[in-house]
Amino acid sequence: MRLKRLILFALLSLFSTPYLFAQENFKLSGFGSLGVVTTNSEQAGFRRDNADKEQTRDGEINLNSLSLLGLQSNYRFAPNLEIVGQALLRDHPTQNIDNILRIASINYEPLPDWQIRLGRVSQRTFLLSDSRPIGFSNIWTMPVQEFYSLLISSYIEGLDTTYSVAVGPGYLRAYGNFGRTTVYLQEPGLGTTKLELSRATELNLEYELTDWAARVSWAQAIQDNNLDSLQILIDGLTGFSEQLGWQEGFTLASALDTTDKQIEFISAALTYNDGNINFKSELGRLQSEARSVDRVNSAYISLGKTVDRFTPFVLIGYVKSDTSGPPEIVAPIQTPELNQLLAGISARLSAGFDQKSIGIGIRYDINSYSSIKAQWEHKQIGENGYNLWAPDSNFQYPNRDENLDVLSVRLDFIF
C-alpha cells in the first residue's frame, strides 16, 4: 500500500513543481524516490546499509530498499529564526517516531555568518551523509556502498553550529555539533537492534571555491550498548567464564564489549562540479576502542559528465579492514556449547570488510524536478570481507572470494 502511494507521488511529481505549498513564512515540500535493486549473489544478501530491512539475492527484485518519501515543513518566525521538521517514510527496520522523524530543529542565525541549530538535525559526518536519502541531489542511484554503509546513524539530537567566512576568493566553513543519537539496525535472524550513541561530537572544516570544495571531518561517539548479536556472545562468554573461573574469557568478553567505548570517524573529501563535470572523492577511516568493531579504511571516486540532460558516470569504491585476524582462544574445557560459542566469536572477529567495486551509470533529468538513473556495479569481495552484506539463513557468508554484480534503477523527485 505504501509503495502504491509512493508510485502515485512519483507520477504526480513528474507534472508538478516544488513546492507543495509556499508562503512568505511557511513552506511545505518534499522529496521521494522509487527504486529497484537486484543482484546475482546467491548466498550473501545485498543491503544498501545496515538499516536495510530486506536483503536482495539472486533472482530477487527489491522495490523497498531504495524507495522512500520525505516530507518537510519550514516555518520562519523572523529572517533569522526558523523551525524545520522532516519525516522520512521508508522501509525502516522498525516503524516508530525515532526512525521517521529525521529533522526537528530550531535554526537561529544570530549574525548572517553564524547558524545555530538546536534539536534533531541531520548528521554531517561524511560529505553526503546528511543528504543520503535525497536521491535527486546525487547522480548515483544510491550513495557508494563501500563508503556510506559504514555510517549507521543519520541524525544528532543536540546543538549544531556553523560559521562561514570569506577567505581569499572562496568561503571557509567551520561546523561542529554535540549530542546523542539512536540507531535502528536490521540484524539477520534477530530482527531490529536499537543502538544508543551518546556524546556524539563532530567537527568539520570546508573550503568552497566556485566549483571546488574540499573538506576534512572528525567525528566520535560513545556506544551505550551492544548490538543484540554481540550481546548474546558476550553474555555466553561471561557465563562460561564465571562458571569456570576463566580469566581469559573475562578479558575477551571485556575486549568485545562496545559499551562505553569510543567509535571514531575521520574523513577527507574533494569535489568539483561546474554543471558539466561532476567529480567527487572521499577517504575515510573508522576505528573503535572495542575489539569487536573493525578498523576500516574506505574510499571512492566518482566522475560524471553532463551532456544536455544526460549525465553518464563511473565510480570506484573500496573498503578494507586492517584489523588482524581473531585471537587464538584456547577453551579451558571442551564442551560442545563452549566450542560453539568460541566458534561464533571467532567467526565474528574474522568477518570484516574487503570489497572493491567499479560501476557505471547514467542520470537523465526528466525535468528540473525529477530524474531517473540506472547503475551497474561489479563488486569483488574477499573471503572474509562480506560485512557490508547480510549472511544467509544459516548465518553463513560464502567461504570464498566472489565477484558479484548489483543493478539498480531509481526515479528521484522533489515536490
Partner 1 sequence: MRILTCSILCMFLHCVVHADIYVIVNTENPIKELNKKQTIDIFMARTQSYSSGLRTYAIDQPNTSELREHFYKSLTGKSVAYVNSYWARLFYTGRKRPPADHFKNSEDIIAEVARNKSAIAYVEAESLPENAKVVMVLPIIKEKK
- Please give the residues from 262 up to 291 whose contact with partner 1 meets the rule CB under 8 A: 274-275
Q: Does 22 bind partner 1 (CB under 8 A)?
A: yes
Q: Whole-angstrom Cα distance, residue 62 to residue 56?
A: 6
Q: Does 130 bind partner 1 (CB under 8 A)?
A: yes
- Please give the residues from 210 up to 269 whose contact with partner 1 meets the rule CB under 8 A: 210
| Residue 221 φ/ψ region, left for φ over 0, alpha for ψ in the -120 to 50 degree band, beta for the rest | beta
292 in Cβ contact with 349 (< 8 Å):
yes
Of 276, 274, 275, 234, nearest to 256 by C-alpha is 234
In the complex with partner 1, the residue whose CB is nearer, 65 or 74, is 74
In the complex with partner 1, the residue whose CB is nearer, 121 or 342, is 121
Q: Whole-angstrom Cα distance, residue 369 to residue 297?
A: 36
In the complex with partner 1, the residue whose CB is nearer, 119 or 236, is 119
- Spell out a b/e string for 91-120, using b for 16 or more CB atoms within 10 Å of the CB, else e: bbbbeeebbeebbbbebbbeeeeebebbbb
- Please give the residues from 39 up to 78 whose contact with partner 1 meets the rule CB under 8 A: 70, 72, 74, 76
Q: Does 162 bind partner 1 (CB under 8 A)?
A: yes
In the complex with partner 1, the residue whose CB is nearer, 108 or 395, is 108
Q: Does 103 bind partner 1 (CB under 8 A)?
A: yes
- Contact stretch for partner 1 (CB under 8 A) within 130-138, 145-153, 287-295, 343-351: 130-138
Q: Does 89 bind partner 1 (CB under 8 A)?
A: no
Size of the site for partner 1 (CB under 8 A): 52
Among 6, 9, 13, 27, binds partner 1 (CB under 8 A): 27
Q: Measure the N-to-C terminal CA separation of the chain; round to a whole number of Å.
A: 21
Q: Whole-angstrom Cα distance, residue 409 to residue 299?
A: 23
Among 84, 150, 230, 345, binds partner 1 (CB under 8 A): 84
Query: Measured from the CB of residue 175, what is the shortest distance to partner 1 in angstroms?
Result: 10
Residue linked to cell 562505553: 260
Among 5, 199, 305, 309, binds partner 1 (CB under 8 A): 309
Query: Measured from the CB of residue 163, what is the shortest distance to partner 1 in angstroms?
Result: 12
For residue 78, give every residue at least 6 positions away whose Cβ sits within 8 Å of its Cβ, in sequence order, or none. none
Secondary structure letter of residue 100 according to DSSP: H
Of 310, 307, 345, nearest to 326 by C-alpha is 345
Q: Whole-angstrom Cα distance, residue 30 to residue 12?
A: 12
Question: Residue 197 is which amino acid?
Answer: L
Return the C-alpha cell found at 156: 544528532
In the complex with partner 1, the residue whose CB is nearer, 199 or 309, is 309
Query: Measured from the CB of residue 412, what is the shortest distance to partner 1 in angstroms?
Result: 9
Of 179, 168, 77, 161, nearest to 113 by C-alpha is 161
- Contact stretch for partner 1 (CB under 8 A) within 21-29, 38-46, 229-237, 264-272: 21-29
User: In the structure, how many helices (H) and strands (E) does the chain have?
Assistant: 6, 17
Return the C-alpha cell found at 365: 533529468
Q: Does 369 bind partner 1 (CB under 8 A)?
A: yes
Return the C-alpha cell found at 324: 588482524
In the complex with partner 1, the residue whose CB is nearer, 95 or 161, is 161
In the complex with partner 1, the residue whose CB is nearer, 241 or 311, is 311
Q: Does 378 bind partner 1 (CB under 8 A)?
A: no
3-state secondary structure of 169: coil
Where helices occur in 26-87 by DSSP H, the ranges are none
- Contact stretch for partner 1 (CB under 8 A) within 101-109, 227-235, 349-357, 380-388: 101-109
In the complex with partner 1, the residue whose CB is nearer, 208 or 405, is 208
Of 27, 29, 8, nearest to 18 by C-alpha is 29
Q: Does 141 bind partner 1 (CB under 8 A)?
A: no
Query: Measured from the CB of residue 93, what is the shortest distance to partner 1 in angstroms?
Result: 22
* Residue ranges in contact with partner 1 by CB under 8 A: 17-19, 22-24, 27, 29, 31, 70, 72, 74, 76, 79-80, 82, 84, 86, 103, 105, 107, 109, 112-113, 115, 117, 121-122, 124, 128, 130-131, 134, 136-137, 162, 164, 166, 169, 171, 208, 210, 274-275, 306, 309, 365, 367-369, 371, 414
